[in-house]
């Protein structure tokens, strides 16, 4: 497969392969992708649909015209993780939002694709075990001060969020570097 950019159309195609995109999501992705500079005859039609009746048909045609395809669900899941990691690093999405997307859309909803039975730690096989722990730490901050082990002290929710955001950005950077090395 050729390299696919992280367009909204490609992300929607990956999500669709994982059964996580509605027909209206496809139309929205088409419009966003057209606004972002992608273009094909079917993409223009998809972006202009007022309802989602023909969305799947034009979505499939647009993806075909633009060469956006995934061979397996695992490939689609890894593609999405990569896109969201890049968006976190570039500041296009908040670290907590990116963390939540990866955990909700991939870790929980596509576990069988990215998690092996022989893992010692959740998320280990896709290099996200630390991110899974941070996801739960974000949740714990909603309930007030939390002990932060790395700094050996209590932190308030605002300070804890800042620390966790920095950790997510660090993990995202490391994940991107790891994947780049794998493809060399």
Instruction: Quick: pLDDT tens for 51-79.
Output: 888 999 999 999 999 999 998 888 898 89
> Which position has the higher pLDDT, 159 or 113?
159
Residue pair 98/172 in contact (Cβ under 8 Å)? The answer is yes
CA 153/CA 147 separation, integer angstroms: 6
Q: How far is CA 45 from CA 14, 17, 39, 50, 62, in A?
A: 20, 22, 10, 10, 9
Residue 94 — pLDDT band, cuts 50, 70, 90? very high
**pLDDT above 90: residue 98:** yes
Distance, in Å, from the CA atom of 30 to the CA atom of 8, rounded to the nearest integer, reads 7
Dihedral (Cα; 7, 9, 13, 16), 10-degree rounding: 120
**Percentage of the chain exceeding pLDDT 70:** 85
Query: Taking the domains of the chain in order of start, what are their residue ranges?
Result: 8-66, 73-182
Q: What is the mean pLDDT of residues 27-38?
A: 94
- Asked if 89 contacts 169 with a C-beta cutoff of 8 angstroms, the reply is yes
The predicted model gives 131-137 an average pLDDT of 86
pLDDT at 151 over 80: no
């Amino acid at each position: 497969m050729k390299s696919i950019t992280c367009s909204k159309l490609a992300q929607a195609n990956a999500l669709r392969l994982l059964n996580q995109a509605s027909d209206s999501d496809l139309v929205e992705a088409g419009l966003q992708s057209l606004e972002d500079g992608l273009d094909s005859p079917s993409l223009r039609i998809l972006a202009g649909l007022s309802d989602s009746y023909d969305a799947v048909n034009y979505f499939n045609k647009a993806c075909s015209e633009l060469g956006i395809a995934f061979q397996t669900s695992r490939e689609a899941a890894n593609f999405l993780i990569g896109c969201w990691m890049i968006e976190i690093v570039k500041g296009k999405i908040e670290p907590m939002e990116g963390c939540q997307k990866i955990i909700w859309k991939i870790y929980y909803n596509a576990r069988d694709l990215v998690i092996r039975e022989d893992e010692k730690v959740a998320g280990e096989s896709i290099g996200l075990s630390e991110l899974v722990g941070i996801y739960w730490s974000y949740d714990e901050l909603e309930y007030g001060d939390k002990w932060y082990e790395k700094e050996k002290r209590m932190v308030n929710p605002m300070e804890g969020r800042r620390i966790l955001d920095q950790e997510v950005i660090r993990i995202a950077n490391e994940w991107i570097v790891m994947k780049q090395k794998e493809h060399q």
